[in-house]
Amino acid sequence: MPKSGSDHRLARRILAGLLAGGVGGTAVNFLWGSGPGLDNFIRYVTEPLGQVFLRLMIMVVLPLVFCSIALGVAGLGDLRKLGRIGLKTMAFFLLVTTLAVGIGLVLVNLVQPGQGLSEAVKSKLLELYKGEAEKKLGQTPTEGLGIQFFLNIVPRNPLAAAVQGDMLAVIFFALICGVGLTMIPPGRAAPVIACLEGVGDLMVAIIGLAMRLAPVGVACLIFSVTARFGFELVLKLGFFVGTAVVGMAIHLFVVLPLLVAWLGGVRPGPFFAKAQTMMLTAFTTSSSSATLPTTLTTAEQEFGIPREISGFVIPLGATMNMNGTALFEGVAVLFLAQVFGIPLGLGAQLVVTAMSVLMAVGAAGVPGGSIPLLALVLTTVGVPGEGIALIIGVDRLLDMCRTTLNVTGDLAAAIVIARSEGLLPPAHRLETTQGALPE
Ligand code: ASP
């Protein structure tokens, strides 16, 4: 890979930005608490700067998703291959997401974090975050995950779907276009493919520009979060936050690397070393969508995954494969059930598992994207939706962690699928990186 030197420098600078922002924000919060001066500084300086970075990344997502998927599918060539890879991809998504929820549920049953929350803290949180929780509950889709949800994946008007940021519908349209491209004469398809490739490259170039702002953008994003945050709440909800974070850490540092080594043939060391810029971007932006361009470049440039696989698996994963989100949903539902004294037996926990997996498919890859859907799971198993008020104050912190897990799961999926098709270049596989050979 020709570009690794500058990439590692960028990763180091992003990490420096993350540390500077995190330490600065925490110190400011600790020393001055919240006050109008700090509020204004965040509102008029760090938040807008962070937002510029975030928006530059999100700006390219729609065209990039469209081009990547259409080209990926067109590159696969025929419908049988698409069907095979599509099935494998979905099976992998389902497997890892279910494993993630399983880990969360086992932990929450062992730790029983809901028992540790005192009545006083509970009523204070309910009061404090009632308004915010109601706002989120207002965004809960009323049709749930019924037939309409699935029907909406097929857009009546692809442009309207794009304008509304309805990713599943855009993905569907891109898939169909990709299939269509394999059905028209090659001479007619070629200019369309060339155009899509050009647009894709253009978007990647814009991402390159945006990433130059990453160290500053990341510092500002993290400063805004930590300066406002106050770790008091984290301590109060310590058992809940701890359970969720430990669950995510197990999935991130044990389950995924094992799967990537076993099914993808890539050792954990190189896997994480090459994924670091992507993971840092996810951690700081709390958005799978904003991280998507970086995930794609990581897959293609760091792991040599061909576009036909990465362009298909990764955009799909950014929307559908959210391991961290599913794990979080499972832990949150059981935690709130414990707090409200609602016993959830094995049957109910299986419902929670299935729903958490589905919600992770439906959640938007934006900060806090899963919260409105969490209410749906809660009400399905009879836990009051307002319970969200209890956890919303620490959601940003958990969001950063679950988004990191979400995108790492997507990269893992791309590696595994590429390997299964014999399309992962040998330099990136276990066999050739063993022993003293440099990575
Ligand atoms: N922020 C998450 C993501 O973008 C979604 C969520 O769980 O809220 O992947």
The SS3 assignment for 436 reads coil
Name the residue of 54, 366, 392 to mutate for ligand 1: max ligand atoms within 8 A of Cβ: 366
Ligand 1 atom at minimum distance from 370 CA: 8
pLDDT value of residue 266:
94
pLDDT value of residue 438:
36
Ligand 1 atom at minimum distance from 318 CA: 9
Looking at this protein, which amino acid is placed at residue 236?
Answer: K
Higher pLDDT, 127 or 423: 423
Looking at this protein, which amino acid is placed at residue 172?
Answer: F
pLDDT value of residue 256:
97
Q: Tokens in use for 127?
A: 């009061």
pLDDT at residue 119 tops 90:
no
Closest listed residue to residue 124, CA positions, set 230, 237, 36? 237
Q: Summarize pLDDT for 239-252 with one digit per residue, the tens.
A: 899 999 999 999 99
Q: Tokens in use for 293?
A: 């361009």
pLDDT average, residue stretch 258-264: 96
pLDDT value of residue 324:
97
Higher pLDDT, 436 or 305: 305
Ligand 1 midpoint to CA 193 (Å): 32
Task: Specify if 55 maps to a domain.
Answer: yes
Ligand 1 midpoint to CA 363 (Å): 7
Name the residue of 288, 373, 395 to mutate for ligand 1: max ligand atoms within 8 A of Cβ: 288
Higher pLDDT, 303 or 204: 303
Task: Specify if 438 maps to a domain.
Answer: no
pLDDT at residue 292 tops 80:
yes
H or E element that contains 314: helix 307-320
Ligand 1 midpoint to CA 315 (Å): 14
pLDDT value of residue 30:
83
Q: How many angstroms from the chain centroid is the CA of residue 51? A: 18
pLDDT at residue 227 tops 90:
no
Higher pLDDT, 148 or 423: 423
d(CA 24, CA 15) in angstroms, rounded, equals 14
Ligand 1 atom at minimum distance from 287 CA: 4
Task: Specify if 433 maps to a domain.
Answer: no
Q: Summarize pLDDT for 159-203 with one digit per residue, the tens.
A: 999 998 888 899 899 999 999 999 999 999 999 999 999 998 898
Which value, in Å, is the radius of gyration of the alpha carbons in the chain?
Answer: 22
Region class of 165: left (phi > 0), else alpha (psi between -120 and 50), else beta? left
Task: Specify if 139 maps to a domain.
Answer: yes
List the residue whose alpha carbon is closest to atom 3 of ligand 1.
Answer: 365
CB-based pocket (< 6 A), ligand 1: 286-288, 322, 325, 363, 365-370, 399, 402-403, 406
Q: Summarize pLDDT for 71-84 with one digit per residue, the tens.
A: 988 888 778 888 89
d(CA 36, CA 360) in angstroms, rounded, equals 37
Count of domains in the chain? 1
Task: Specify if 439 maps to a domain.
Answer: no
Task: Specify if 434 maps to a domain.
Answer: no
Ligand 1 midpoint to CA 360 (Å): 9
Task: Specify if 190 maps to a domain.
Answer: yes
d(CA 84, CA 68) in angstroms, rounded, equals 18
H or E element that contains 290: helix 288-297
Running DSSP on this structure, what letter comes out for residue 156? S
Closest listed residue to residue 113, CA positions, set 333, 373, 309, 288? 333
Q: Summarize pLDDT for 402-439 with one digit per residue, the tens.
A: 999 999 999 999 999 999 999 888 766 654 444 333 33
pLDDT value of residue 1:
36
Ligand 1 midpoint to CA 175 (Å): 23
Ligand 1 atom at minimum distance from 403 CA: 9
Q: Tokens in use for 360?
A: 């992770």
Q: Summarize pLDDT for 48-61 with one digit per residue, the tens.
A: 999 999 898 888 88
Q: How confident is the model at residue 142 (pLDDT cuts 50, 70, 90)?
A: low
pLDDT value of residue 317:
93
Q: How many angstroms from the chain centroid is the CA of residue 251? A: 14
d(CA 73, CA 85) in angstroms, rounded, equals 10
Ligand 1 midpoint to CA 366 (Å): 5
pLDDT value of residue 150:
78
Name the residue of 394, 406, 408, 410 to mutate for ligand 1: max ligand atoms within 8 A of Cβ: 406
d(CA 75, CA 193) in angstroms, rounded, equals 9
Question: What's the CATH number where 194 sits?
Answer: 1.10.3860.10
Angle of helix 256-264 versus helix 395-420 axis, rounded to 10: 10
Angle of helix 167-183 versus helix 307-320 axis, rounded to 10: 150
d(CA 410, CA 318) in angstroms, rounded, equals 7
- pLDDT, mean over the chain: 87
pLDDT value of residue 254:
97
- CB of 335 closer than 8 Å to CB of 412: no
Ligand 1 midpoint to CA 402 (Å): 7
The b/e string for 59-88 (b: 16+ C-beta within 10 A; e otherwise) is bbbbbbbbbbbbbbbbbbeeeeebeebbeb
Name the residue of 54, 140, 286, 374 to mutate for ligand 1: max ligand atoms within 8 A of Cβ: 286
Ligand 1 atom at minimum distance from 289 CA: 4
263 exposure class (CB count in 10 Å sphere: 0-12, 13-18, 19+): middle
Ligand 1 atom at minimum distance from 322 CA: 9
Give the side-chain half-sphere CA count within 13 A for 82: 21
Ligand 1 midpoint to CA 80 (Å): 32
Looking at this protein, which amino acid is placed at residue 166?
Answer: D
- CB of 326 closer than 8 Å to CB of 307: no
Q: Helix (H) and strand (E) counts for the chain? A: 24, 0
In the block, tokens 């009546």 appear at 156
Q: Summarize pLDDT for 351-381 with one digit per residue, the tens.
A: 999 999 988 888 888 888 888 888 888 888 8
| Measured torsion, CA atoms of residues 223, 228, 234, 240, in degrees rounded to the nearest 10 | -90
Closest listed residue to residue 296, CA positions, set 280, 311, 274? 311
Range(s) of the domain holding residue 195 = 4-428
List the residue whose alpha carbon is closest to atom 1 of ligand 1.
Answer: 367
Ligand 1 atom at minimum distance from 324 CA: 7
Region class of 342: left (phi > 0), else alpha (psi between -120 and 50), else beta? beta
In the block, tokens 């945006």 appear at 210
Q: How confident is the model at residue 38 (pLDDT cuts 50, 70, 90)?
A: confident
Q: How confident is the model at residue 141 (pLDDT cuts 50, 70, 90)?
A: low
d(CA 190, CA 71) in angstroms, rounded, equals 11
Higher pLDDT, 203 or 231: 203
d(CA 135, CA 386) in angstroms, rounded, equals 10
The b/e string for 154-168 (b: 16+ C-beta within 10 A; e otherwise) is ebeebeebbeeebbb
Task: Specify if 350 maps to a domain.
Answer: yes
Q: How many angstroms from the chain centroid is the CA of residue 42? A: 25
Higher pLDDT, 11 or 183: 183
In the block, tokens 């022993």 appear at 435
Name the residue of 251, 287, 398, 408 to mutate for ligand 1: max ligand atoms within 8 A of Cβ: 287
Closest listed residue to residue 401, CA positions, set 230, 232, 211, 225? 225
Ligand 1 atom at minimum distance from 364 CA: 5
In the block, tokens 């109910």 appear at 348
